[in-house]
Structure 1
Amino acid sequence: MIGNGGAAWGAEAGHDRSEDRAATHAWVTKALAEGEHVTEAVRLRGGWTSEMRRLRIEGPAGERAMVLRSFVRPFFVRHAPGLLSREADVLRLLGETEVPAPSLVAVDATAEHCDFPSLLMTLLPGGVRVQDEGVGRRAQLLAEQLLRIHRVRVTEESRPRTYQPWTSAERVTPPADGGRPGLWERAVEVIRQAPPEYQGCFLHRDFHPGNVLFTGTDTSTGTGSGTGDDLRISGVVDWVETSWGPADLDVAHCSTTLALLHGAPTGMRFADLYLAAGGRLAEDPAAQLYWRLLDALAFAPDAEKVGLPWRELGRTDLTSEVLTGRLEDYLQALFDRFG
């Protein structure tokens, strides 16, 4: 317990506790309105690159909640100035659009005031949904939301950086528990080629079910709150990788993730849903194959790293063997469709 507000500033993913972070607490307090203080800090499950905490704020006007993102792993601490500064700029930009993104409260990208590089933002309603049931409807909503993101208009000054590939032919290592080495070799040869030409647009660059919040009832399961037809996306989070590049890249990343979560057929359908919503992708099948493989191969050899937060969210069926098998099934499905 620290500070005047008596906040439980330790992590609570389960019942574990981390060390107190007095500097971060003081920085957050300065960003609050007069008379407000933090009364609780609860670590959120499902994160991989950063620690996320939900903060309960109390003050004269009542109670509200915020989210604190902190980079604590050495690799991400080194890259935090660029990542958090970019996210702060993007949140300011999206505040004037219809994209349901958090509002920026404060940012300390270099840990000048905090114990670790941090960003403070508003809490959006809803929650992450990664169960198999109802994925068809959710995938349709994801495709429609992604198209709205791609249509965000930017000026030359506000345009984000050009996308950076997350892997290359030289960096791909097939998983040790994989059973189709020839498939991996064929896929690597595709991304060894020069990137296809593309028409750029505004990219989230890490758009997948783990970064999208839903509210309402899932029409296939009857779970949630509401009336069954009210399932909707209430928020899109994690804007640290926002870039400028081909729409195919965002579609590819969500497709790969859906394939890992729900199987290759679900991953393959996502691009069709995006096109049906009015989106545009590369016309050349070879270009579509390149962008889809460029994303999928970035998960090798360690699709397990995304399995860890998903298992925290209840998907205990997603073992390393299952994820590797689904990734290989997805690679094969891409070749079956695009040659």
Structure 2
Amino acid sequence: MTVRPLTLEWVKRHLRAGEQIVGVEALHGGITAEMRKLTIGTQDGDIRQLVLRSFVDPTRLERAEDSLNREAGALTLLTGTGLTVPGLVAVDATAADCEYPSLLMTHLPGRTVLTDDEVETRVPLLARQLAAIHAVRPAERPPEYETLTTADTVVVPRRADAAAWAAAIDVIRELAPHYEGRFLHRDFQPGNVLFDVLPSGPARTHITGVVDWAATSWGPADLDVAHCSTNLALLHGPVWGRRFAEAYEEAGGVLAADAGDRLYWMVRDPLACSEEVVAIAHAWREAGRPELTTRAVEERLDSYIKMLLD
């Protein structure tokens, strides 16, 4: 696995004196950018690791500059807040020096965990972590949240319950409810949270960091909760989507008080997710969940939509 020539030279300019790249490894599980872990040999014989994010997919290039600038801003903003996030090394959001828009950051310890094992242990940890993110009060607010999916653009899976999906789509035809703004990650889900899973057992499991801040926004906490709930429902079964929302409130997080408002945000995310089921399923199979075929994920999405409307 190699780094493209121009990007390689750009990375080298941001290394410390005497350092060199001694290893490159592809990181799997994402769907928006190409990720590489770079092993850096230091002058005294030690090693450290950096992560290189590059937007190479032509369909993603239009939003690459905004995404990388948001991530660079978030990593800078979150320094000293108590949240464990990567440290920003350099960013080339317009590909002025690299082949593609790129960001270089420090590597965090830990690993993503997408298996069903011990999910009941991880869900409360995820909930507490998200509540801590929402507690951040930035000196400068990030841009307002965006929802690109509308009632007229929802992609209904071929085998889905048509009546249930029609009812869910009708929910988001309404105007977005009023909300109290919060600092949002906007892609908080198990694939972007790192865990240190110790052999001593689940009681010692803890989160070592949160990555992928490229969609940082300002908006209702319900949006982040709904997104993580949807991912948990698709990874582990619909009941875990509902359980995460409960765990978030148990952790001190505050969701919309009105049941109709809460349903609006909770339904909006899985409806939007239906547009990317193929890419999501592919990423999860690549990350070690071969049973999560496109059809299997669509079936869980359909069941989750019906459960939310029940």
TM-score category by the smaller chain? over 0.9
Cα-to-partner distance string for 1:187-229 (whole Å, 9 max, x where unaligned): 1000000000000000000000000000033xxxxxxx44543
Aligned pairs for 1:226-265 (under 5 A) are 226=200, 228-265=202-239
Aligned pairs for 1:1-339 (under 5 A) are 9=2, 21-61=4-44, 62-155=46-139, 158-178=140-160, 180-217=161-198, 225-226=199-200, 228-336=202-310
CA distance in 2, matches of 1:26, 1:287: 50
| Contact 1:175/1:324, CA 8 A, preserved across alignment | yes
Q: Secondary structure at the match of 1:229?
A: helix
Q: Secondary structure at the match of 1:68?
A: strand
- Give the C-alpha shift of residue 133 in structure 1: 1.1
CA distance change for structure 1 residues 159 and 275 in 2, over 3 Å: closer, same or farther? same
| Contact 1:175/1:302, CA 8 A, preserved across alignment | no
Size of the aligned set, in residue pairs, is 309
Q: Secondary structure at the match of 1:244?
A: strand
RMSD of aligned residue pairs (Cα, Å): 1.1
| Contact 1:166/1:295, CA 8 A, preserved across alignment | no
The one-letter code sitting in structure 2 at the alignment partner of 1:31 is: H
- Give the C-alpha shift of residue 76 in structure 1: 1.7
Cα-to-partner distance string for 1:280-337 (whole Å, 9 max, x where unaligned): 000100001000111110012442221111101111111122111111111111111x
| Contact 2:157/2:274, CA 8 A, preserved across alignment | yes
- Give the C-alpha shift of residue 249 in structure 1: 0.4
| Contact 2:164/2:309, CA 8 A, preserved across alignment | no
CA distance change for structure 1 residues 139 and 310 in 2, over 3 Å: closer, same or farther? same
| Contact 2:118/2:202, CA 8 A, preserved across alignment | no
Query: Looking at both structures, which has the greater relative contact order when contacts are Cα pairs under 8 Å and sequence separation is at least 6?
Result: 2
Identity %, equivalent residues = 48
Q: TM-score, normalised by structure 1?
A: 0.89
CA distance in 1, matches of 2:309, 2:227: 17
Write out the 4+ residue segments of structure 1 that deviate beyond 3 Å after TM superposition.
225-228
The one-letter code sitting in structure 2 at the alignment partner of 1:46 is: G
Q: Secondary structure at the match of 1:273?
A: helix
Q: Which moved more, 1:54-63 or 1:137-146?
A: 54-63
The one-letter code sitting in structure 2 at the alignment partner of 1:60 is: Q
CA distance in 2, matches of 1:279, 1:47: 27
The one-letter code sitting in structure 2 at the alignment partner of 1:9 is: T
| Contact 1:46/1:309, CA 8 A, preserved across alignment | yes
Q: Secondary structure at the match of 1:42?
A: strand
CA distance in 1, matches of 2:37, 2:195: 17
The one-letter code sitting in structure 2 at the alignment partner of 1:235 is: G
CA distance in 2, matches of 1:282, 1:126: 33
Q: Secondary structure at the match of 1:206?
A: coil
| Contact 2:184/2:218, CA 8 A, preserved across alignment | yes
Q: Secondary structure at the match of 2:281?
A: helix
Q: Secondary structure at the match of 2:36?
A: strand
CA distance in 2, matches of 1:216, 1:265: 23
The one-letter code sitting in structure 1 at the alignment partner of 2:298 is: T
Q: Secondary structure at the match of 1:136?
A: helix
